[in-house]
Amino acid sequence: MSEKATKNGMTIKLKIWRQARGARSGGFIEYVKKDVVVEMSLLEVLDLVNEELVAKGEEAIEFDSDCREGICGTCGLVVNGVAHGTHAGTTTCEIRMRQFRDGDTITIEPFRAKPFTIIKDLVVDRTAFDRIQQKGGFVSMNVGSAPDGNAVPIPKDAADWAMDAASCIGCGACVAACPNASASLFVSAKISQFAVLPQGDPERSRRALLMIAQMDEEGFGDCSNHGECEAVCPKEISIQNIAKMRREFIMAAFKG
């Protein structure tokens, strides 16, 4: 970083995908943002660009965000060709400008997948995930009041597996990274988190059959074990869950 950049902030070039609402195609537009402070997040830089656009009477860049704390995954963007950016185990909102240099160009575009229709600019429709979740990503059986913590003995490895799978935030980065636009990592996490727990056992077969069927209906591709999904997942969900999902589906299919 240059001495000037250290004192006055960096100058960053942004190539951002712009697409009008309802349009079938769009394109990249380049913006230049000066005085970027290294402590800023990438989303804060986008906020500043939008302030300048609005001040000039131009239309602001639309993008999603919510918690901005790396929890919800709403901020999912493709940054320099990688879903959520090139740092492992992080969401887009956790990208700090300290990882860039003065004069760098950052390319920002929406998640690309047929089931994720672009609504406008960087915003995509991810309600396909909601419909999959509604098919069985829950426990609806009446389990009564909360039991004592030790009343239902669950092996530690099962509890750890369930907790790791449950950390999926449904951001869709796995779909954006997969060359087949497969949602297998997301769906397998939602199936696995209940499959190993006694509370999820009564609906185990139904859950696997319905969620996988809905995934196929939404138009997601098949998993071909590239592993790109695991590489970009901000919660580092293991692709072992996909193998678990396949076993659950086969057992459910045999039960009829």
pLDDT tens, position by position, 36-70: 999 999 999 999 999 999 999 999 999 999 999 99
CATH number of 127-255: 1.10.1060.10
For the stretch 137-175, pLDDT in tens is: 999 877 677 767 677 788 999 999 999 999 999 999 999
Every domain range in the chain assigned CATH 3.10.20.30? 3-119
Superfamily of the domain at 3-119: Beta-grasp domain (3.10.20.30)
Q: Are strands 27-36 and 10-18 parallel, antiparallel or unpaired?
A: antiparallel
pLDDT for 27: 98
In whole angstroms, what is the distance from residue 165 CA to residue 244 CA?
11
Domain with CATH 1.10.1060.10 in the chain: 127-255
Residues 131, 28 contacting (CB under 8 angstroms): no
Q: Is the pLDDT of residue 233 over 90?
A: yes
Alpha-carbon distances of 24 from 29, 83, 102, 118, 120, rounded to whole Å: 17, 22, 35, 8, 10
Q: DSSP per residue over 130-159, as a string?
A: HHHHHTTSS--S---SPPPTTTS---HHHH
User: Residue 129 above 90 pLDDT?
Assistant: yes
- DSSP-derived 3-state class of residue 81: coil
pLDDT at 7 over 90: no
pLDDT given for residue 6 in this prediction: 45
pTM, entire model: 0.92
- The CB density around residue 37, as the number of other CB atoms within 10 Å, is 14
Q: What is the pLDDT of residue 152?
A: 73
Q: What is the mean pLDDT of the chain?
A: 94
